Amino acid sequence: MRDKITNIEIIGEEEVVTAFVEMLDLCPRCSIKEQRAKIINAYNFAYEAHRGLKRKTGEPFILHPIEVAKIVLGEIGLGVTSVMCALLHDVVEDNDDISLEDIETQFGKQVASIIDGLTKITNVYDDEQNVQAETFRKMLMTIPQDIRVILIKLADRLHNMRTLSGMAENRKIVKAGETLYVYAPLARKLGLNKIGRELEDLSFKHHLPEDYNKLLQIIKESENQRIENIYNFNERMKPILKRSGIKYEIIGIRKSLYATWLKMRERQIPFEEIHNFQTMRLIFEPKVRDSERMQSYRIYTLITEEFIARKGSLQDFIKNPKDNGFQALIVDIMDDDGNWKEVQILSRRMADIAERGYSSEKSDNENMSQRDKWIQSIGNQLINPNSNALDFLDNFKLNLYTSEIYVFTPRGKIVKLPKGATVLDFAFHIHSQLGLHCIGAKVNKKLVNRGYVLNSADQIQVLDSAAALPEKDWLNIVVSARAKVSLKNYFKKQIKDNIHQGEITVKEIQSSLEFATDQSTINRLVKYFHCNDKRDLYNKVGKELITRQDLIKAFKSVQGSGIFENLIPSIFKTKNNQNNNFKQEFSHKKTYVIKESIDEAEHIIADCCYPIPGDKSIAYKSPNGVIEVHQISCPVAIKLNAEHGKSVAKVQWENHTITQHISKIHLKGIDRKKIVLELTEVISSQMNVNMKSIHIDSSNGIYQGDIILYVSSLDALNSLIAKLKKISGIKTVERVKVK
């Protein structure tokens, strides 16, 4: 097909060309001949590079970059260069004969730079590094230089998640874990809330399909009620807003199913108690003469004159926007049925940013400076870029907070911190040296310790002393990435200095005793002092945990003895070989079978989630050879899928009836006499289940409690729960997390 505007031939099958032309129609600048030609040339180049290739779903591979370009245009709102990069994003990675230099020659340096940021790490790393984490770090490091890299990558991931059905189940689990751990929170952080919600829901769908389908059914059943709520709110507000001359629309914005499921599980509440599952968003067209904030407050006044507002629920994110640019007035009101509903008041500009972040902003000077400020704030969080890839990813993850607090310096400057931040976090935010020597603070003129948890509107004056030095437990006090990294760097420097001093001391003693300074002698010392390696030995010597007298005695003991010759290197060699074998095994193995045995198991059951036979679970083989088994919904499992996907396998439980596994249930009901007696009768006598502990509280005729049990399998636990639900007065029985 020949394009009528540019007269350039668009190559490809009819299905592919049709999809590409649909994408072109979304492009507002594609009516300009020169811009349109760039995109068509990029498409033709990509088509030739992917000619004949198919996706797992069976469709031509070129349809994937076309769909990514559609998302970049229609859902994110980027320009021509980004569309070209979306079309070309897999070309270098999937073709050995096409290099970044070829892309630069054909399409320019800027396009080549973005494609480089989108290309996965393919080098082979040693055991201390991880290809997945290195790829994430490479991608995240591009944010301060060119935010388009990450935006295109999110579009790429969104389309991959939309078409995940064609992949093997084990790969689905890994992709869903990566998305929940990195991509969905990152989309939220960048203000792409619509994409963030969809990424969460698609991950939830493939990660925990049973829970997803159950919640989806509940939501569908209540859909008519939510439509009616919006209709009733609109009908009551329509005459009021019309009299005030306000042009507006009211829409419903719902939480993601995954966020809702998490909230229900963490708070142990049913769906009906999630009052803000759907937010009513009132979007108004602003008038030029007044500020948007003042107009928002006028609408807030009109709403609260018509509806009862929940005391203390007003949140002003217009004066203090979130990091991702989100601005709105938020208030809870009581609907016609006496239920609390959340209402957001936003201008049209604010509503665009609420869904697409600053990528929705027009390119005028004021907005560009605001965008630059925002990107700089993201870049500032990429502290210590030379850190280990896994540390880097963990530190960046710490910054993906949805909740923040606003506190003040003694001079009234506003400081934004993550919720749960302490005095120590505040001190490190002001300056790393202030954090390292912090001894406490005056919060609102009251003396507090360094671990005091701050609240919004607190005013903090940090107290420091040159004599105060960090201790390891400080890492448990802080929650911000800046503070954690500063502390880790301090401790790493301490270790480095200790190792240097320790090595000097060991060599001095070797020289004074005229002993050989070969590696075998050092290896014997490592074994003698039960150290991990020579660095551990030098560190302990530098810290004086091993004294000079201890060293002299050890030298005399091991010198001339050949029993430890080359022992440590051979251990390391064996361990490395085991690691290589396990990586190869797990990269091809789809399942890890757990058989029932009273003998010592080859794996450990993770105590962060306590999976039991029948639970959907994953197995992870760590570098030290230990296999950990986690529930698939466990946050640690999600992290392992994101960082070590090739070292993770799906678990298949064989029939389990003998071995016992710990589990916990939570009960609620109407209190009456002998209820506890009947509970224990069913559990112990009828079901023959052992209890580890039981705790029941009763208040005002209502009781609730927790019971920790030993069960053989998920089927056995479900049978017990079904039996308990039949006891008179018991309203709910559900499995909860063992802490």
Q: How far is CA 431 from CA 336, 373, 392, 409, in A?
A: 51, 20, 20, 13
Q: Which are the contacts of 90, defined by CB distance < 8 A and separation ≥ 6?
A: 46, 50, 61, 64, 65
Residues 514-529: b if buried by 16+ CB within 10 A, e if exposed? eeeeeebbbbbbbbbb
**CA–CA separation, 27 vs 315, rounded Å?**
37
Q: Which of 78-82, 330-334, 409-413, 714-718 has the lowest mean pLDDT?
A: 409-413
Contacts of 693-702 with C-beta under 8 Å, sequence gap 24+, read: 696/667, 698/671, 701/670, 701/671, 702/668, 702/669, 702/670, 702/671
Is the pLDDT reported for residue 238 higher than 50? yes
pLDDT, greater one: 365 or 450: 450
Count CB neighbours of 677 within 10 A. Answer: 9
List the structure tokens of 702: 């209502």
pLDDT at position 388 is 60
Q: Which are the contacts of 215, defined by CB distance < 8 A and separation ≥ 6?
A: 257, 260, 261, 271
Partners of residue 666 on adjacent β-strands = 706, 734
pLDDT, greater one: 713 or 575: 713
How deeply is 68 buried, as exposed, middle or buried, from its count of CB atoms within 10 A (0-12, 13-18, 19+)?
Answer: buried
Helices and strands (H, E) in the chain, number of each type:
29, 19
pLDDT at position 544 is 84
Is the pLDDT reported for residue 9 higher than 80? yes
- Strands 591-594 and 648-653, by their bridges, are parallel
pTM for the full predicted model: 0.70
Confidence of residue 560 (pLDDT cuts 50, 70, 90): low
Confidence of residue 665 (pLDDT cuts 50, 70, 90): very high
pLDDT, greater one: 626 or 428: 428
The three-state secondary structure class of 647 is: helix
Is the pLDDT reported for residue 704 higher than 80? yes
Give the mean pLDDT of 185-202. Answer: 89
Is the pLDDT reported for residue 462 higher than 70? yes
The answer to whether the CB of 121 falls within 8 A of the CB of 138 is: yes
Catalytic residue annotation: 93-94
Q: How far is CA 334 from CA 227, 308, 446, 689, in A?
A: 16, 6, 38, 46
Q: How far is CA 295 from CA 124, 285, 446, in A?
A: 57, 10, 38
pLDDT, greater one: 314 or 276: 314
Q: Which domains does the chain have, with CATH numbers?
A: 14-190 (1.10.3210.10), 216-365 (3.30.460.10), 403-477 (3.10.20.30), 489-562 (no CATH), 570-653 (no CATH), 661-736 (3.30.70.260)
Give the mean pLDDT of 255-274. Answer: 87
Give the mean pLDDT of 374-402. Answer: 57
- φ, ψ dihedrals at 540, nearest 5°: -70, -35
pLDDT at position 397 is 59
Is the pLDDT reported for residue 710 higher than 50? yes
The answer to whether the CB of 455 falls within 8 A of the CB of 487 is: no
pLDDT at position 396 is 61
Q: At what angle do helices 481-513 and 423-430 cross, to 10 degrees?
A: 80
**CA–CA separation, 396 vs 66, rounded Å?**
30
The three-state secondary structure class of 605 is: strand
The per-residue pLDDT for range 114-150, each reduced to its tens digit, is 998 888 654 433 344 456 667 777 677 776 677 888 8
Confidence of residue 660 (pLDDT cuts 50, 70, 90): confident
List the structure tokens of 298: 């006028």
Give the mean pLDDT of 490-498. Answer: 88
Confidence of residue 367 (pLDDT cuts 50, 70, 90): very low
Q: Which are the contacts of 197, defined by CB distance < 8 A and separation ≥ 6?
A: 254, 255, 256, 259
pLDDT at position 249 is 95
The answer to whether the CB of 75 falls within 8 A of the CB of 356 is: yes
Confidence of residue 588 (pLDDT cuts 50, 70, 90): very low
**CA–CA separation, 424 vs 444, rounded Å?**
16
List the structure tokens of 174: 């890994």
Sheet of strand 248-254, all strands in order from the earlier edge strand to the far edge: 248-254, 278-284, 340-347, 329-334, 315-316
pLDDT at position 256 is 92
- φ, ψ dihedrals at 717, nearest 5°: -65, -45
Is the pLDDT reported for residue 507 higher than 50? yes
The answer to whether the CB of 469 falls within 8 A of the CB of 436 is: yes
Partners of residue 661 on adjacent β-strands = 711
Confidence of residue 358 (pLDDT cuts 50, 70, 90): low
Is the pLDDT reported for residue 451 higher than 70? yes
pLDDT, greater one: 118 or 63: 63
**CA–CA separation, 730 vs 499, rounded Å?**
62
Q: Which residue has the tokens 């005695």?
A: 553
The answer to whether the CB of 149 falls within 8 A of the CB of 72 is: no
Query: Any alpha helices (H) in 268-327, and if so which ranges?
Result: 292-306
Q: Which of 32-46, 448-462, 651-665, 715-729 has the lowest mean pLDDT?
A: 651-665
Phi-psi region at 614: left, alpha or beta (left = phi > 0; alpha = psi -120 to 50) = left
pLDDT at position 199 is 96
pLDDT at position 456 is 80
pLDDT at position 568 is 34
pLDDT at position 458 is 87
Residues 124-134: b if buried by 16+ CB within 10 A, e if exposed? eeeeeebbbbb
The answer to whether the CB of 418 falls within 8 A of the CB of 426 is: no
The answer to whether the CB of 429 falls within 8 A of the CB of 406 is: no
**CA–CA separation, 499 vs 521, rounded Å?**
17
Is the pLDDT reported for residue 364 higher than 60? no
Report the share of the chain in percent with pLDDT over 70. 85
Is the pLDDT reported for residue 564 higher than 80? no
The answer to whether the CB of 320 falls within 8 A of the CB of 414 is: yes
List the structure tokens of 263: 């909230």
**CA–CA separation, 42 vs 87, rounded Å?**
7
pLDDT at position 467 is 87
Confidence of residue 196 (pLDDT cuts 50, 70, 90): very high
**CA–CA separation, 522 vs 564, rounded Å?**
10
Is the pLDDT reported for residue 708 higher than 90? yes
Smallest Cα–Cα separation from 619: which of 202, 174, 183? 174
Q: Which of 367-371, 395-399, 431-435 has the lowest mean pLDDT?
A: 367-371
